[in-house]
Amino acid sequence: MRAAVLAVAAAALLWSSGGLFIKLAPMPAMAVACGRSLIAGVFYLALLRPNLRNARWSTAAAYAGCIITFVTATKLTTAANAIFLQYTAPAYVLLLSPFVLRERLRPIDLACVILSLLGLSLFFVDKVEPGQTLGNILGIVSGIFFALNIVLLRRDQGDALASMTLGNLVAAAVTLPFALGSLPALLTPLGAGVLLYLGIVQLGLAYWLFARGVRLVPAAEASIISMLEPIFNPIWVLLFWGERPGPWAVAGGVVVIASVALRTVRPAEAFAPDR
């Protein structure tokens, strides 16, 4: 059990390094998204061997949209804003569930949605450049795509690994035309090293560790441990890149993480009205 918990924690910490390495990449966002997704897709195919016939195109498209917009958001705004805004995804899942999954909202769900939207609004209080505003918006879009990926996966009962692998390949194909102009940077030691790390370690190895650990770790505990990602993502960027998020963004991130933690620790059933 302890080894499983450590595996989930290690996966979350590897995921959290994404913001720093995306910042370090000496090429535009689309080139980073292309190389990262292509390498991750090949890694999954070679080592984890998913059956792509079990993938769902709708889920794969949502996943591709999520990773493209997240990388672009991280390049345009602070890493903290990008990851915190993506973590508003549970609120969108709750809003989509009644329509897609026929699941009704409970009081705790509504409270979490309101908290998440409140936290989201705080990201736009700090004074930001026009490019950062676009990055913040793309961070929100990334969260929406992430929520769609979760909801569609639950609705269609598809193979998560197969859909994720296909999603990475779709993302690589979509961004390839925009990445060709950055080929010289991709072939430098720094460019190639960063992309190999992002594709093999930050996505590939992290997923493998999480998949092994989550088999033995209760879902609620795994969700809480996974919150190491949004906590450490901006810390790595601050320590090694010198990027400081604004005070209102930090406050918004705390509210967003608190809303996710509330929904995880206090399941909906505990807040359900008496039948």
How far is the C-alpha of 188 from the C-alpha of 200, rounded, in Å?
A: 18
Residue 260's pLDDT is what?
Answer: 85
**Mean per-residue pLDDT, 199-220:** 90
Which residue has better confidence, 25 or 106?
25
**Amino acid at residue number 236:** W
How distant is the alpha carbon of residue 248 from its chain centre? 21
The pLDDT tens digits of the residues spanning 94-118 come to 899 888 888 888 888 888 899 999 9
pLDDT of residue 49: 92
The pair of three-digit structure tokens given for residue 170, joined into one six-digit string: 């779709």
Share of the chain above pLDDT 70, in %: 96
State the pLDDT at residue 273: 39
The pLDDT value recorded for residue 230 is 94
Q: Which domain holds residue 59?
A: 2-271
Residue with more model confidence, 187 or 198? 198
Give the chain's domain count: 1
CB-facing half-sphere around the CA of 73: CA atoms within 13 A? 23
- Judge whether 253 and 245 are in contact, CB under 8 Å: yes
pLDDT tier, 267 (very low <50, low <70, confident <90, very high otherwise): low
Q: What is the pLDDT of residues 43-99, one digit of tens each?
A: 999 998 999 999 999 999 999 999 999 999 999 999 999 999 999 998 999 899 888
Q: Which residue has the higher pLDDT, 66 or 212?
A: 66
Position 119 confidence tier, pLDDT thresholds 50, 70, 90 = very high
Return d(Cα 3, Cα 109) in angstroms, integer.
32
Please check the confidence at residue 272 and state whether its pLDDT lies above 70: no
- 94 CB-near residues (< 8 Å, 6+ apart): 105, 109, 110, 112, 113, 263
